[in-house]
Structure 1
C-alpha cells in the first residue's frame, strides 16, 4: 500500500523567507525539499513523491504539498508558516470506477512540435497552450491518460511559474492554467498512478498536482 500525505502550508507574509519563496517557483521547490530526509539521491523529488500547488483564491496564499513521505514540518523556519499534514491514503484506496468527484489541477499545458516541424517552421521545442487549446489538452490528459471522464471543466489562466536556478543561473518558466470541474472515474488504478506521479511538465515547480474530493464537496 502506498502512503500519501497532504500538507497545507499557509506562509506568513510578514516573514521575509516566505515572501521570497512565494515569488519564485525554484525557491519554493527548494523550501519544500528541505522538509524531507537528506540522502534521497539525484532524484530526491521523485523519491519523496513531492508535488505542490499554490492556492491563491483566498485572502492569503496557501501551498498544498502532496508527498509519499511525511514531511517534517519542524524544518520550516520559525514563524514561516502555519502548517498541518493529513493522511490521504484512505482517499487513494477508496477510488473506484463510477465514483463522481470534483477535481482541481494547476497544469502546464503545452504542445511539443516534432523535429520536422521545428526545422521547417522555426517553432520552439515547447509551445504553451492557452484558451481552447489548453482546454483540449486537459481533456486529453484526463480522459485518455488519467482514467477520468469529465462532466464539466473550467479553466483559469494563471501567472507563469518562474525562478532562477542557482547552479547555472538558468531561468525556469512554466505557463500555468488551473482546471476545475467534475468527473467520474473510469479506471481507478490509472487515476491513482496519475495522482501519485503528477500530470504534465513543471512538477518540481508547482504544476501537475491533481486533487480530488467527493462531488458534493469542493476540492
Structure 2
C-alpha cells in the first residue's frame, strides 16, 4: 500500500471531514439493534466521538478505518500467510459464484448498514436487496476443494492467530493516530452535526403535546 499507515489514516480522516458537511439526519428508520462495528469501538473512542454523536456519523468513520485495517491485514496475509491466503481466496471464489451482493462497493458511510427501508403498507411490492442477496437455487456450486489434513488445519489456525495479532497491532496504531486528529474532528462535529441535532430536538419539542396543557387549546 502507498504511504505510511499514519498518512493513510490522515487521508481517511480528511475524506470523512469532507463528507461531514453533506451529512443529514436519517428519517426513514430507527435501528433495531446495536451496531457491532461502532458500539464500544476503540476507534470511535480514540476519535473522541463515543458520546453525543449520531450513529451514522460514527459509522462513516469506523468503516473507513475498518477498510484501512482490513487492507493492511490482507496485504500482510498475502505476503506472509500462504495457507490462510489460499483459503480466503477459495472462499471469495465460492462467495462470488453463489449470490448477488448488493452491499459490495458501497461508500464507507453506508457499508454495513441496512439497505432496505421499511415498506409502506400501500406501496406496490417489487423486491428487496436482502432477497436479491440470497443464493439462488439454480446457482452453480463451485467444486469443493479436498479436505484439509490435520497438519494443514493446525497450520491455518496458527496463521489465523498471526493475522489476528497483526490486526490488533494495526488497530492500535490507527487509534493512536486518530487521537492526534480528534480535536479537529470534534470541531467539525460541532460545526456541521450539532446544528442538525438541535434543530431536530426543537422540532420534536414543538410537535409534542404536554399532558399538563388544557384540552381544546
TM-score, normalising length: structure 1: 0.20
Q: RCO greater where, 1 or 2, for CA within 8 Å and sep 6 or more?
A: 2
More strand by share: 1
Larger-Rg structure? 2
More helix by share: 2
